[in-house]
Amino acid sequence: MWHNSNVFAIVQFDSVGVEKLIGILGFSLFGSLSLLPFTVDRVKDDSNITETHKIILVLIFGLIWVLASVGFLCGLHGKSDFEQAVCRFTARLGILGLTLLVILNLIWMLPSSTFATVCFYIFMIAAVILHIVLWITSCLVGEDKIEEIAGTEQQ
């Protein structure tokens, strides 16, 4: 009978890989939560932000929060390949969302129409591009795959 020693490796989580992802998700959840009061106050007081932009900002924040919390649970309790993929995917989205939220709050601290404001908008665009490029690169070289998180046998 054919026997593959790696069959059980897919079922068991590599605790180091999962801890990394759960750490990223926790950082994303609690970091964004700590910025929420300042962000809400700033959005309410800023007359330059339209109601549509306020709604979009709140929806994006809520979406990232929901995805990161689901990813956190998948990292803690998930055993299937799908749950592990959700954990990795939401960890990347969560840290990108937190990065954008931090940069946005920094932009709001600056006087409008300054060179620094333009630089921070460039930083925001660069952050999105770099996150996407690094994600694609890790997928192409095989570092962002199921076996990376769950593929080591526990001794």
Using CA atoms, how far residue 17 sits from 32, 55, 66, 111, 114, in Å, is: 23, 36, 22, 42, 42
- Residue 90 is predicted with a pLDDT of 87
Residue pair 96/127 in contact by the 8 Å Cβ criterion: yes
Report yes or no on whether pTM surpasses 0.85. Answer: no
How is 42-71 classified by DSSP, letter by letter? Answer: HHHH-TTS-HHHHHHHHHHHHHHHHHHHHH
Residue pair 127/99 in contact by the 8 Å Cβ criterion: yes
Condensed to tens digits (0 to 9), the pLDDT of residues 56-112 reads 778 878 888 888 888 888 888 888 888 888 888 888 888 888 888 888 878 877 777
- Top pLDDT among 84 and 18 is at 84
